[in-house]
Structure 1
């Protein structure tokens, strides 16, 4: 093996499943032929070989959907390109609805598909039965059909992809296990391997120096990450499916033409399989694989092309439900019941991108839908490695969305089982997870719980979503229409608009940029001019080379060579990583996380100044403390950094408090506010208020795919301050003009949009909503969405909500306080 393995390669890919092979394929297709793929046994021997092979495209994220569409496009032409059969069947897919609530979900999915450009349609139960004649329709109310979905043979398509990679120069080495990885600073430099072909353990190893490494090790992703000191929140769970005996009256050819079918109310899915049917599902009591003891468990490297013992007792619940849908299974018999591991992540979605710990280590693992995603995900990863970022914004899949706690087995084993069990569960908007909670808590957590806070979770933080008044049970009851928290969110909304509220925003990610190069780094990173007087609060975007918004945050200049940065609860790792990656590494710039050092209490509303002044030794009048300024003040006996800015569109201060003083400050404010009708406010109220004010949310309204000009944030861009990251692209776009524009809409009749709804003009889909909520001050539903610029001046549109067309009006200015008179009062 030492003779055959190279001593160096530009890129090393670890893992010979469909993802690893696809990454090698796309790297070579993009012109990089110095690629070595290492597989510890044989290709597909992990989880790929026993995958079910369904290829569905629609996901809740537009760009994830587009990535899966690229898989289908690739699979259609792969056999002709490589000469290797892939057994692709573009038969379409069915999704059934057996309750009124599931019909609403189906309508929402179809509306979303339409906004994404997929040809999904709602069809009758009778039409569904014509497409899949083995099904019983006795309880089916409706179905959705997507004709471009299908199924494929996992092993065949992986071998075809591998052949395509080899044809363009990739070197694939089987029986080559990675034993360790050498790291120097922020780079992995050498991969150390061992030959696994000799079962007696006498195999020798070899070392490969590399410039980049990608961990596509599937269920071993966590173990391979540990070799380089990288924490990856992905491992595996047990998944079962049954393959029936022959279906009487149907030939394999006739069965093979039937669509795949998902029946979420019965927890099962179907796929033709030779003379029979494959039926799998998501039972509520699966188990995580490789738990071991505590956080030190792992999946044995020797677990290759192996299965678990079938668990007939656990599968019986699915078999019973599946037989009700397809009675033919009663007589077909069982050919086999397969129980195997499938990769799974801490939030049940893919884990992709460059890790925050190292500059040349990439990951592509945790793929529950590895066959469906394989082709497109490989392309995105190749772009990430060769061009610095993928052509699609994939934040929902980005490894940087995770925090430390997500990477612990204690968290993953509980959350993965919950996510698996809820795979087909009907989840109304606002549903929260219940396992692995209470990990990150504000110092005010217990106080607010006593005030009847109903908590949600974001980035591992427990955050109050809303507050239940006396007599109302403090629990969520989500709904596709009006949830139980609606009137209480409205009451808090109006109380802040008219009086004063307190918001615990401790979960904000907070960090500082210091050092002699801090100002130069901030200027290079930001579109706004950062050379402002100490004490200035600067709202800014940080853009990539294409002008897309990588970060949307606030920087406070606290000293000539120091900036205090505040961003969203879930964006800390992402934003800190972006700043570090694009700052000098010569020691002139230091980025330090301060999230745990300070709590944040927001006192906000037209009466907030009265409350704050009553407990503060300093003058907080408008003359003494202007909008977008920050300074140290004393509240009671606590030192506080007061920041006059906010996210709800009212007079107010974010109070950044050393953690040990947080309860003291909150208690003083709460007591002083009683005379003014002060209320506790949750995050669901924040969202309704920010939408009235026209404030955007990064990852939905603004993303690395959207520019400040497109998002209506051009007023933050200073092209005269000198060069900065993304400036050339922004100059070019300003000169050429934008092709789309973020717009605000009100819906002219009552509806409950969430986001992802189709925006329609003259009968054609012209966009989709990025955010949606109800504006309790204006009394109408609100939605944001991008329009082609040629349509961005007209006012009459339709927004399709759960399949219903709702007239919508576009607005040029924020719906609330467009002149900022209340904000700057």
Structure 2
């Protein structure tokens, strides 16, 4: 069935130096994935699209494989294809309720009778949040108003003119019946249906607002002067879905075992085919064939679906839809949702906060005389030097890092060890006080979680994972625990504050204030003990993510400020420093530590990621064992490698991941993560290489359209023998 697909290509304009950098970065990433993207001059852009005024345009990106489709025709074609394969489509049916049996949806109640379910997909567009709440799900997707205008016919408009976007002017264009459609992304657009979307609302339009659209219209007159001459036929205003972070909301609902969600499709037509394929795989195979964690509903926490957060953040992101894609950019609406006990102390010490999982966390600390605010850039940002000093404080002296935002849980009961042996790839039958770094894998051997588990008693284990991963990792663990009452899972995140005391002089500081012996003999690496700091009870875990001697100090929240003040005073003679998360990333890159969701995901197994040493194949049975045994005996076809960019002086560009790694000039990988190592004085990147592409030399990295010689490294760049970590 015809979909009226027009493969006319698309243009994206850049009329500022910063936008040129953004386009060059996008083109480099496209090269990594084999997508054809051409950077063309303003004159070439005008030749493709003669109605453009390009006097201020510096560059454009051209995608020849792009185009546009008639949404109604495509929808009808998809529906017809589904019916040909046995689907039944029922229209005009109102959902009135649900019947659940524990964690399963048993029946959907409608005004035309009940529908029994084996599997259900909540794909109700802007009604998804309300229906989700009725079902016991929290779906962070709403609707906001979106306007676009339709011009009168434009004489001599080329038949195959590309669609085009001008993000600097925040507008987009596509042909429409001898004229064009011009839309844009307004700052402060109104929400739609905040107090409930009318049940009978269908395809109605909302009242248009020319005053609100005026700035975008003037931008359109500037970029395409012909529009002002031919006039406007109609200004259309209608609701458009939007999620808490502007991306799709997809996947298996954490709260129910047989319900999936597909909502928040702001750009639904563009992604509909791929989203449909991923959802079909998720339902029939148990997981999608691609890593789509940035779209997974489990990336959201409780607060994301709350009105107080969801509406302000969605409206901010809508207005920024064409905003500059700065590296390390933070959002500003609906901040301060979760704060550690150290928050006021750190603000007084000039912390510049970021947000992760709703938590306010220190990204970096502004030195006296500098403005404590982010100024992101495609080159070295304003925090670069300050982060370098924090990095050196950890490497050379001692530091305190607020890591309260860690997601933390206790798993307890007589069946706990057996359950964790089944879940974890590492050996869990370790003595009380052991700290175990492990992955939990799926049946295919892919890494579902990457965390530490501390045995705090014979029948109690303490789990620590990343700030934003609780809604992913904890449901995965709980879903695989026995239901017979022999194991109890308790989220402890809000009950414990965490300070990371780290650096070569960390033991000297800790010994000054701890009642117990913290020498290496008494308190070795990868062990945990309960100690007293000042007057506070603390679970001290000798592990870390920065590659230096250190302890994670897990503190009851009411004692937290006291512990910070005690350590800060004891550390003053040693030059103790406050350190933020941006320095953590530079430190872990040097040490070869990996980050789940970037360097390791369900797409990769531990042997590919260089983590095979954590896999205990001697255990008779754990999830993924068969696949991992094959990976070890037969070998893997790709491996995670580290690279440095070899350019003197050090590269001035912000290398943050997504760069193209080349071998003998041929693209072979995309950088999973990247940062500058302040100890090694070079930019560091990680990327997966096929075995046939692993060699001693011949590598380069393309960043922002420029190529730089690179060197592959076979071992961590810092302390490869772990002498500083374990000393």
TM-score grouping bracket, smaller chain normalisation: over 0.9
Cα displacement (A) at 1:738: 1.0
1:478 aligns with 376
1:425 aligns with 323
Cα displacement (A) at 1:796: 2.8
Separation (CA, whole Å) in 1 of partners of 2:654 and 2:143 = 36
2:40 aligns with 123
| Matched position secondary structure for 2:51 | coil
2:352 aligns with 454
1:406 aligns with 304
Cα displacement (A) at 1:571: 0.2
1:605 aligns with 503
Separation (CA, whole Å) in 2 of partners of 1:271 and 1:735 = 54
1:227 aligns with 134
- How do 1:232-631 and structure 2 match up within 5 A? 232-250=139-157, 254-255=158-159, 257-292=160-195, 298-631=196-529
Quick check: 1:217 aligned with 2:134?
Answer: no
Which stretches in structure 1 are left out of the alignment for 5+ residues?
1-83, 195-204, 293-297
Separation (CA, whole Å) in 2 of partners of 1:459 and 1:411 = 12
Separation (CA, whole Å) in 2 of partners of 1:592 and 1:352 = 26
| Matched position secondary structure for 2:89 | strand
Specify which of 784, 792, 797 is matched with residue 694 of structure 2.
792
Cα displacement (A) at 1:259: 1.1
8 A Cα contact 1:796 1:810, kept in partner? no
For structure 1, which segment, 793-802 or 304-313, has the greater mean C-alpha deviation from structure 2 after superposition? 793-802
Cα displacement (A) at 1:347: 0.6
Cα displacement (A) at 1:718: 1.0
Specify which of 48, 51, 54 is matched with residue 137 of structure 1.
54
Instruction: For residues 599-644 of structure 1, give each alpha carbon's deviation from its aligned partner in whole angstroms, at most 9, with x where no partner exists.
Output: 0000000000000010000000000000000011111111100000
Specify which of 183, 204, 207 is matched with residue 114 of structure 2.
207
2:602 aligns with 704
For structure 1, which segment, 426-435 or 767-776, has the greater mean C-alpha deviation from structure 2 after superposition? 426-435
8 A Cα contact 1:115 1:768, kept in partner? yes
Instruction: For residues 524-574 of structure 1, give each alpha carbon's deviation from its aligned partner in whole angstroms, at most 9, with x where no partner exists.
Output: 111100000011000000001111100000001111222100000000110
Specify which of 27, 30, 53 is matched with residue 110 of structure 1.
27
Separation (CA, whole Å) in 2 of partners of 1:394 and 1:785 = 18
8 A Cα contact 1:270 1:278, kept in partner? yes
Instruction: For residues 113-153 of structure 1, give each alpha carbon's deviation from its aligned partner in whole angstroms, at most 9, with x where no partner exists.
Output: 11111001111111111111111111110000111111111
8 A Cα contact 2:247 2:266, kept in partner? yes
1:29 aligns with none
Task: Count the aligned residue pairs.
Answer: 723
Separation (CA, whole Å) in 2 of partners of 1:559 and 1:792 = 45
2:83 aligns with 166
Cα displacement (A) at 1:583: 2.1
8 A Cα contact 2:377 2:654, kept in partner? no
Separation (CA, whole Å) in 1 of partners of 2:632 and 2:53 = 58
Instruction: For residues 54-91 of structure 1, give each alpha carbon's deviation from its aligned partner in whole angstroms, at most 9, with x where no partner exists.
Output: xxxxxxxxxxxxxxxxxxxxxxxxxxxxxx22101111
For structure 1, which segment, 329-338 or 669-678, has the greater mean C-alpha deviation from structure 2 after superposition? 329-338
Cα displacement (A) at 1:423: 0.8
Cα displacement (A) at 1:470: 1.2
- How do 1:724-735 and structure 2 match up within 5 A? 724-735=622-633
| Matched position secondary structure for 2:311 | helix
| Matched position secondary structure for 1:545 | coil
8 A Cα contact 1:795 1:811, kept in partner? no
1:659 aligns with 557
| Matched position secondary structure for 1:300 | coil
| Matched position secondary structure for 1:151 | coil
Quick check: 1:761 aligned with 2:663?
Answer: yes
1:66 aligns with none
Separation (CA, whole Å) in 1 of partners of 2:545 and 2:132 = 38
Separation (CA, whole Å) in 2 of partners of 1:143 and 1:455 = 35
Cα displacement (A) at 1:517: 1.6
8 A Cα contact 1:437 1:460, kept in partner? yes
The two structures have a TM-score, normalised by structure 2, of 0.99
Separation (CA, whole Å) in 2 of partners of 1:517 and 1:153 = 57
8 A Cα contact 1:285 1:314, kept in partner? no
| Matched position secondary structure for 1:469 | coil
| Matched position secondary structure for 2:229 | helix
Separation (CA, whole Å) in 2 of partners of 1:407 and 1:678 = 39
2:716 aligns with 814
1:715 aligns with 613
1:45 aligns with none
Quick check: 1:675 aligned with 2:577?
Answer: no
Separation (CA, whole Å) in 2 of partners of 1:383 and 1:588 = 33
1:775 aligns with 677
Separation (CA, whole Å) in 1 of partners of 2:94 and 2:591 = 55
Specify which of 622, 641, 660 is matched with residue 539 of structure 2.
641
Quick check: 1:178 aligned with 2:178?
Answer: no
The two structures have a TM-score, normalised by structure 1, of 0.87
The runs of 4+ residues in structure 1 deviating greater than 6 Å are: none
Separation (CA, whole Å) in 2 of partners of 1:100 and 1:645 = 44
